[in-house]
Chain A
């Protein structure tokens, strides 16, 4: 039997724990509740079959095709992941295997710092520096390409830090054994370390992808936000997240509800990626 004081404390803690644990359910519940009118009025197919995205005007006059935004999100995130993956793995390898000890520590701190920089700052820099640069080459500059580059900068530190901890989880003895067999450093990394850390690395990349899909401000500020399926890297594009940020302020009724549908969609995609990523990650030890 616990002390009375402890039973009281445990009661309070359980209450707080239940509150913290229920927030995610609350989020899903509110998204669903707000999305329900649009889902009921429009059915499952109009989101990809409608002629365009002109959501004002109710179920009759409104057009609710989300596919340009879906494609925009997919294109921006895919591009960013493709670019960021080799760079972040190289960055993690540098930190773990190539950098002298002190430099590696300093570099890691820099990357940690970058991972915490606000997306709005990246977006702003992209808007005032990067897009004019692209624009000088191919106007207007606010484009899928700008979005991909800024997103790459944003997810690179995240993937790099996670990849490095995945590499750190590989037992040191593996590397020593390989070195003892006379393998060069690169051969050791390629033949032993990378294969041993492959699940952790995949988990890191998936988490980076989730971050890229969910990112709002950085893409919102550099991609031009035209609702159109992009034909090239230099076309402007609007992502799902940017769409919500741009329209929620004035959206009414079915339009508002449709934005919650896209929020639900986002949450679903991100949850899927995070879920797979968690499943891949080696079990953390508790206690």
Chain B
């Protein structure tokens, strides 16, 4: 008997089995969320304020707080990320000591556990800078957290712009600032957009960094200095601290996952458009 084929077949069966198993488990998780969560969701749930610590009512203020935290996060991180990416991709040829230092430091930042961001944000933004538990504290903490993702993807997007354009612009005596503005950044726009969506996904998914920076308060925030509860924190609180909060936690989880799926689909859509476009014909 030829004994060679059977380990080959076994390996293939194992690989298929594991992949199917992973798909099934995650399908189970998602199906469970949808089965329990969807019936709870209505327009009222999305708009109303939570009552009885979240057991009843909706998640309107929580959604508003989440969006405000996200806005603070993006408004502060995007300019810094874009500028750093331009510095790394366009001005340093990947060689200068300064660029290498920044890269190493960003690699370090990308590895920091989210709860440590929570400690840091609590110590710096909430206490040292006196912002307290507020949307501002939470947003700024998340801004620090998403910087490495934003910078890496923006740098990648810029590097994928053909260098012909840079040489053509330089040969015409066009300053680097103008060539960035007129040619390179517009060319890199789809890649930049993908990075932003990735950053949004990471920020929406975050909980631990927000617990002690933006806090728990589930009222509609009056200003950025008010505490505001993010969707993820709401899920945590309902599940752990509110007996009978399970149903609403399911529903909130569905809302959060749908938001993330939308972000994901956007990323894929942009990438697909870009690919069809060849990244050039604009």
Contact = CB atoms under 8 A, between A and B. Distances in A.
Q: CB–CB under 8 A between A and B in the complex? A: yes
Interface of A: 2-3, 5-6, 8-10, 12-27, 30-31, 33-34, 87, 90-91, 93-95, 97-99, 107, 109-114, 116-125, 127-129, 153, 156, 184-187, 189-190, 210, 213-217, 220-221, 241, 244-245, 248-249, 259-260, 263, 266-267, 270-271, 273-274, 278, 286-287
A264 to B, nearest CB: 9
A91 B246 CA distance: 33
Given A91-B22, A186-B7, A286-B159, A260 B123 contact: yes
Nearest to B111: A274
A129 B128 CA distance: 41
A259 B81 CA distance: 31
Contact of B261 (A113, A270, A278): A113
Interface string B117-159: 1111011100010000000000000001001000100000001
B184 to A, nearest CB: 12
Contacts of A2: 175-176
B207 A30 contact: no
A13 B235 contact: no
Given A24-B108, A274-B107, A120 B14 contact: no
Given A34-B123, A113-B264, A217 B236 contact: yes
Contacts of A22: 105
Interface stretch (B23-31, B51-59, B185-193, B219-227): B23-31
A95 B264 CA distance: 20
A116 B262 CA distance: 12
Nearest to B25: A153
B116 A217 contact: no
21 contacts: A6-B177, A17-B87, A19-B80, A22-B105, A23-B147, A30-B119, A31-B123, A90-B14, A90-B19, A116-B260, A120-B236, A156-B22, A184-B8, A214-B113, A214-B115, A215-B113, A221-B239, A245-B118, A267-B116, A274-B110, A287-B94
Nearest to B175: A3
Given A114-B26, A221-B236, A263-B119, A271 B111 contact: yes
B16 interface: yes
Interface string B244-279: 001001100100110011001000100000000000
A25 B208 CA distance: 21
Contacts of A30: 119-120, 123-124, 128
B239 A121 contact: no
B225 to A, nearest CB: 19
Contacts of A6: 175-177
Contacts of B177: 3, 5-6, 8-9
A268 to B, nearest CB: 10
Contacts of A94: 15-16, 18-19
A19 B21 CA distance: 45
A248 B19 contact: no
B98 A124 contact: no
A121 B120 CA distance: 24
Given A109-B268, A116-B205, A121-B33, A245 B80 contact: no
* From A5, A17, A112, A271, residue with most partner B Cβ within 10 Å: A17
A159 to B, nearest CB: 12
A185 B256 contact: no
B206 A95 contact: no
A147 to B, nearest CB: 15
A248 B159 CA distance: 42
A6 B128 CA distance: 36
A270 B235 contact: no
Contacts of A186: 7-8, 10-12
Nearest to B18: A90
Given A5-B177, A27-B120, A121-B235, A286 B94 contact: yes
Given A20-B151, A186-B8, A278 B207 contact: no
A14 B99 CA distance: 9
Contacts of A121: 29, 33, 235, 253, 256-257
4 closest Cβ pairs, A-B complex: A214-B113, A16-B83, A118-B205, A286-B94
Contacts of A210: 111
A221 B232 CA distance: 13
B26 to A, nearest CB: 5
Given A9-B177, A30-B123, A263 B115 contact: yes
B49 interface: no
B211 A245 contact: yes
Nearest to B12: A98
A137 to B, nearest CB: 18
Contacts of A118: 204-207, 232, 256-257, 260
B98 A14 contact: yes
Contacts of B16: 94, 98
Given A13-B87, A244-B115, A87 B212 contact: no
A97 B123 contact: no
Nearest to B128: A30
